Amino acid sequence: MKWDPKSPIFAQAGGSGLTVRNFQDLILVNQMGQRFWNEMDNSYAFLAACLGTNGNLGSNGKSNGGGPIWAIFDADAVTREQWDPRPPNVDPNGWFFSADTIAELAGKIKNPYQLHPVSASVLEQSVNKYNSSVDTGKDLEFAKPTPMFKIQKPPFYAAWSTPILHDTLTGLKINTKCQVIDRNDQVIPGLYACGESAGGFALHGLPRVLVFGRIAGREAAGATSS
Ligand SMILES: Cc1cc2nc3c(=O)[nH]c(=O)nc-3n(C[C@H](O)[C@H](O)[C@H](O)COP(=O)(O)OP(=O)(O)OC[C@H]3O[C@@H](n4cnc5c(N)ncnc54)[C@H](O)[C@@H]3O)c2cc1C
């Protein structure tokens, strides 16, 4: 899925994005700059891994999971993937960064969802460790099958790679009238839910939203008028 730069709402998207053909071409790090996953594994558990706090809390004692996830790669990866890492393909306003060293790259990552700046030493450590696993052919941390390419040729890049969900497939418990049910299985009078905020109906996308939106609206209107 790619955003068309001619779209009237392209400014909201910021960039068309770079499609990854081979996840051997990059590593993924969390907001601390730590690698946390075998990039070749695209199972649902990846989403849980992205949300892992790894003990990292903000100054207010709260967490935002792993925060922004960054794809880290080098000039050789750009050649292999045949990417053009310039706007409108990428959005340099907080979502895509490049630098001549890994430490400099860490310092450039400025994004509103980062709890803390990325530590240069942590990101360097992640890249160095990964490069050694290419030497040995074994990823002892996350068991990526035979890591193939070192991240070694400048410029180096960080691209926003936080996964998004098409459907939450969870939410408040409702009955067939879209009334919200409490923990004791009792209706909460006057409260209705539908769409992504309502759980218990695993159907993708707009049909679920529209059908239950209509039911909730109809029931709420009926309840008010009676
Ligand atoms: C990338 C992507 C692609 C998708 N493609 C498809 C597709 O091709 N076909 C399909 O059927 N479905 C698709 N879906 C799923 C579909 O878009 C969603 O299921 C649907 O839009 C959810 O509708 P909703 O009204 O429940 O929630 P939303 O559309 O999320 O609406 C919730 C609204 O509440 C607002 N809001 C949040 N908090 C507050 C607050 N505190 N006060 C006031 N307002 C608030 C939000 O700004 C938002 O406008 C896609 C989803 C994504 C993310």
Q: What's the pLDDT tens digit per position in 189-217?
A: 999 999 999 988 878 889 989 999 999 99
* Ligand 1 pocket test, candidate residues 164, 206, 211, 212, most atoms within 8 A of CB: 206
Which residue has a Cα nearest atom 19 of ligand 1? Answer: 205
Give the residue among 155, 149, 198, 197 at the shortest CA–CA distance from 174.
Answer: 198
Cβ of 166 closer than 6 Å to ligand 1, yes or no, is: yes
Q: What tokens were used for 95?
A: 């979502």
User: Distance between alpha carbon 131 and the CA centroid of its chain, in Å?
Assistant: 24
Cβ of 199 closer than 6 Å to ligand 1, yes or no, is: no
Ligand 1 center from residue 146 Cα (angstroms): 39
Question: Ramachandran region of residue 12, left (φ > 0), alpha (ψ -120 to 50) or beta?
Answer: alpha
Cβ of 75 closer than 6 Å to ligand 1, yes or no, is: no
Ligand 1 center from residue 196 Cα (angstroms): 7
Which three-class secondary structure state does DSSP give residue 214?
Answer: helix
Instruction: Please say whether the beta carbons of 33 and 105 come within 8 A.
Output: no
Give the residue among 105, 122, 88 at the shortest CA–CA distance from 157.
Answer: 105
Ligand 1 center from residue 126 Cα (angstroms): 35
Ligand 1 center from residue 10 Cα (angstroms): 18
For domain 10-160, the CATH class is alpha beta
Which stretches in the chain have pLDDT values below 50? Answer: 226
Cβ of 167 closer than 6 Å to ligand 1, yes or no, is: yes
Residues 6+ apart with CB under 8 A from 129: 35, 141
* Ligand 1 pocket test, candidate residues 3, 166, 192, 212, most atoms within 8 A of CB: 166
pLDDT at 226: 46
Atom of ligand 1 nearest to the CA of 194: 26
Atom of ligand 1 nearest to the CA of 196: 26
Q: What is the DSSP letter of 92?
A: T
Cα atoms in the Cβ-side hemisphere of radius 13 Å centred on 92: 10
Which residue has a Cα nearest atom 31 of ligand 1? Answer: 196
pLDDT at 223: 80
End-to-end Cα spacing for the chain: 46
- Total-model pTM: 0.82
Ligand 1 center from residue 198 Cα (angstroms): 12
Q: Where in the chain is the domain with CATH 3.90.700.10?
A: 10-160
